[in-house]
Structure 1
Amino acid sequence: MISSAVILVGGPSRGTRFRPLSFDVPKPLFKIGGREMIHHHLQALSKVESVKDVFLVGFYEESVFKDFIHEASVEFPMFHRIKYLREYNCLGTGGGLYHFRDQILKGHTDNVFVMHADVCCSFPLNELLQSHEAKNALVTLMATKVNKEDASNFGCLVEDSNTNRVLHYVDKPSSYLSNIISCGVYVFDASIFDEIKKAYERRIEEVEKQLRSLDDGMEDYLSLEDDVLAPLCSDSSKAIFAYNTPEFWRQIKTAGSAVPANSLYLQKAYHDGSLPNPDTEAEIIQPVFIHPSATVSRGAKIGPNVFIGARVHVDDGARIRNSIIQEDCEVSSQAVILHSILSRNCKIGKWSRVEGSPTLPSQHSTTIMRNHVKVQAITVMGADCHVHDEVRVQNCLVLPHKEIKVGLVGEIVM
């Protein structure tokens, strides 16, 4: 049996809720838990023996992934190919698959893994594949349970509790359907492309009926969830099954959601024994990932759930917890960073505080109510921001290249 894998990476006009972090680095390459977001996908796929080719599908410029793919090809020699397939415009999650179907299926591929890039997960892919093969399924989707209040933000499904056959699927339903949701991780039988072709033909008919101009790109846009999966799940003759994972999962949509995802990946690496020990005499509360080129002074206290990137400098007395510190940042003495993200080249002055509100990994919302107004739970600092000495920034979103001289609470700094 031969499998291939597709990671849907989107493009620069998508994922706007991830700003200001995506101003500095493309969302799929933002580092969480010490590695790029999609590196975690590749790491999981490398443990599936049948996967030989991995394709990144999206509409970023080809240069965006060039260095990453080169490094990944060296790190994961078990893959015959890791290749970026660039869409000529935004084709949608199903349209990109259909457009590149010949390359994806090349080499007598039996099954295709499809994974959204903005998913944080333990990725039990071997178990998913075993379930898929045991039931001779056309589609097996990874599913999990969320709180009833969060369910409408995801693709909800109804399944037969005895067989796990999916009976109904609606992406982001307007009313409550189920608290079982799709994780955005799938295994498809290779024949799925026949079904995608049918969905594509239905799309063309809809465009023609609505008399839309054929040059606006809409006839090529195809949603994997809405246009393909939803009709298939309603067809009782199709073998669509769910694999319910008991392990962790969350979506990385907003910038703030990177912090709980960071915690999940670090905790997993620590429990697996794959988290490198920090080379510092500072007080460390695991799990913590500190890049070897970073300098953390002996008097600092770091952790838990902290990622510190390359060439970061942390002075004595600094306290960092539940945060992501990207490359080339400076955290001065006695500064405090809690539940926050610092993008590249940020400078935090002495005795300053940059803090958000605690967000559990199981929470799917990263906003809180303050004075009857919804604000950021996680404080996010864009690239090249400078917080002066003795300044407090709490529950804020700060765009790049800002200088903060006075305290801020619950604000968006444009």
Structure 2
Amino acid sequence: MMLKAVILIGGPQKGTRFRPLSLEVPKPLFPIAGLPMIQHHMEACVKVDGLKEILLIGFYQNSEPLNRFVRSMQSELSVKVRYLQEYTPLGTAGGLYHFRDQIMSGSPDAVFVLNADVCCDLPLQELLAFHKSHSAGNGCTVLGTRANRKQAVNYGCIVENEQTGEVMHYVEKPESFVSDIINCGTYVVSSDVFQHIGQVFSRNYERSGDDEDLGIETQGTRDVIRLEQDVLVPLAGSGKLFVYKTERFWTQVKNAGSAIYASRLFFEKYAADSPERLTRSGDSGTEQPCIVGNVRIHPTASVDRTATIGPNVYIGPGVVVRAGARIRESIVLDRAEVGQHSCILHSIVGWNGSIGAWARVEGTPNDPNPNDPFARVQVQSIFGSDGRLNPSITILGQGVHVPGEVSVRNCIVLPFKELSGSLSNEIIL
């Protein structure tokens, strides 16, 4: 069996909720538990027997960071990796159709399609086996999981035939409760799905021709095809769409704060499957700092032995952490400097940033309810109904300087700002 995988990475217009971090690096390359977000997808893909190629499809016009990443993955992984750049945003299925010849070259038996902004212990081998046994290798199989009734309406909702696994009804973000089975943004499709997408494409052009006759501008929208609304909805109930439900961890990374929760999930996976990716107390002798729980410190980082790090902390390349610092539930990005006796909690410190001595940088976690097994991260708006900033993870953009002995709490600070004093519940533009 010959297989391929497509990872839909979107573009800068789709990463607005991830700002200010996506101003410096494409969102799919942001480190989750120390690895670029989509590297987790790719590592899951290469474990599937018969997978020969991974294609990244998106519309990042500044493609150099992605090209560097592709080159590094090409040398590290045992499969071919390519980035295919859209000429304009084409939607989740428009890109698949536009590059259908490249995707289907070599006549793969099936193609995995994965959204880049999900973090999951991906059961791709099991998903493929289910697809082959339940759909006779045709159509599409969706990876599903459960959400509580209140949150399910924020996702694509699936109504299934419990005996066969067939999707009988699909609604994207319904206005009222439809089902607690939600779409994980991961699929396995067969070649006939491209025929369904082609039918949507043809209808769009017929409709755009009618609109143009009426003087309505359609250029830029007729090529846009949405996988969920335009393909999955009509496939439901046709015998061509099935759902495979997983109980493994799954979450979305829509905003910057959710990256910390996603890192925690992958750290827990490292602890079970890849403990060598974690930093432990005593790994490098007595000079190692105090490590609490799951932590990953890049080998080029310098962390004083009197610092206390963890749990759920990633410290990137070239970071310097001074004596007595305390970092917990946070991400500290490349070449940042953390001053002595400073404290960083539930925060992301951007590239080349600096935290002064005795400073405190703290955010409010946005974790799902631990007492509800089906609770998901709530992606809330930046502002509440009263116009005030909602409490959130504190995010410091690239090159932000926090002076010593100040407190920064529940703030978002854009790049290259030098703070003059303490802040609370503010956005610094």
- The TM-score with structure 2 as length reference comes to 0.92
| Misfit runs of 4+, over 4 Å | 212-215, 366-372
**Number of equivalenced pairs:** 410
Q: CA RMSD in A?
A: 1.8
Match of 2:221 in 1: 218
- In structure 2, the partner of 1:281 is 288
Superposed, 1:231-310 pairs within 5 Å as 231-233=234-236, 236-274=237-275, 275-277=277-279, 279=284, 281-310=288-317
Counterpart residue identity of residue 316, structure 2 = G
Q: Deviations over 1:333-369 (max 9, x none)?
A: 1111111111101101111111112332654125599
Matched, 1:365 2:400: no
Matched residue SS, 1:383: coil
Change (3 A) 1:108 1:363: closer
| Alpha-carbon separation, structure 1, partners of 2:205 and 2:14 | 23
1:58 to partner: Cα distance = 0.6
Q: How does 1:116-135 map to 2 (within 5 A)?
A: 116-135=115-134
Counterpart contact for 1:366–1:376, Cα < 8 Å: no
Letter of the structure 1 residue corresponding to residue 246 of structure 2: T
Distance 1:48 1:116, change over 3 A: same
Residue number in structure 1 paired with 2:40 = 40
SS of 1:271's equivalent?
helix
**1:263-308 alpha-carbon deviations (Å, 9 max, x no partner):** 1111111121342435451100121010000011000000111010
Match of 1:390 among 383, 402, 405: 405
Q: Tell whether the 8 Å contact from 2:254 to 2:379 is kept in structure 1 after alignment.
A: no
**Counterpart residue identity of residue 144, structure 1:** T
- 1:213: how far off? 4.9
Counterpart code for 1:110: D
Give the C-alpha shift of residue 118 in structure 1: 0.5
Given that 1:370 and 1:410 are in contact with CA atoms closer than 8 Å, whether structure 2 keeps it comes out as no
| CA spacing shift, 1:347–1:371, aligned 2, 3 Å | farther
The superposition leaves residues 39-76 of structure 1 with CA deviations (integer Å, 9 ceiling, x where unpaired) of: 00110001001210110001113323111111101110
Q: CA deviation at 1:395?
A: 1.1
- The alignment partner of 1:389 has SS state of coil
Q: Which residue of 1 aligns with 2:107?
A: 108
Instruction: Indicate how the Cα distance of structure 1 residues 208 and 23 shifts in structure 2: closer, same or farther if over 3 A, else same.
Output: same
Counterparts of 1:215 and 1:370, CA distance in 2 = 36
Q: Determine which of 337, 342, 365 is the counterpart of 1:330.
A: 337
Q: 1:378 matched to which residue of 2? A: 393
Paired AA for residue 230 in structure 1: V
Question: Shift of residue 179 of structure 1?
Answer: 2.1
Task: Report the more deviating stretch, 403-412 or 2-11.
Answer: 403-412
**1:169 aligned onto 2:176:** no
Matched, 1:7 2:28: no
How far apart, in 1, do the equivalents of 2:247 and 2:360 lie? Answer: 37
Partners in 2 of 1:192 and 1:371 — Cα distance? 42
Matched, 1:340 2:347: yes
Decide whether the 8 Å contact of 1:375 with 1:396 is kept in 2: no
- Identical columns (%): 45
**Corresponding residue for 2:205?**
204
Structure 1 residue 215, shift from structure 2 partner: 6.0
Counterparts of 1:217 and 1:309, CA distance in 2: 40
Distance 1:115 1:126 in 2: 14
Give the superposition deviation at 1:108: 1.6
Please state how far the C-alpha of 1:218 moved relative to its aligned partner.
0.7
> Which one is further off, 198-207 or 361-370?
361-370
Task: Say which is worse superposed, 169-178 or 123-132, in terms of deviation.
Answer: 169-178
Q: Work out the CA distance in 1 between the residues paired with 2:43 and 2:183.
A: 21
Which residue number corresponds to residue 424 of structure 2? Answer: 409
Q: 1:97 deviation in Å?
A: 0.2
Question: Structure 1: 5+ residue runs without aligned partners?
Answer: none
* Structure 1 counterpart SS, 2:168: strand
Q: What is the match of residue 27 of structure 1?
A: 27
State yes or no: 1:76 paired with 2:77: yes
Unaligned runs of 5+ in 2: 369-374
The answer (yes or no) to whether the contact 1:314–1:333 under 8 Å persists in 2 is yes
Call closer, same or farther: CA 1:102–1:213 in 2, change over 3 Å.
farther
**Displacement of 1:26:** 0.7
Find the aligned partners of 2:273 and 2:366 in 1 and give their Cα distance.
23
Q: Distance in 1 between matches of 2:153 and 2:349?
A: 31
In 2, Cα distance between equivalents of 1:139 and 1:366: 28
Of 67-76 and 359-368, deviating more is 359-368
Summarize the Cα distance change of 1:28–1:277 in structure 2 as closer, same or farther, 3 Å threshold.
Answer: same
Q: Aligned pair in 2 of structure 1 residues 321, 41: CA closer, same or farther (>3 Å)? A: same
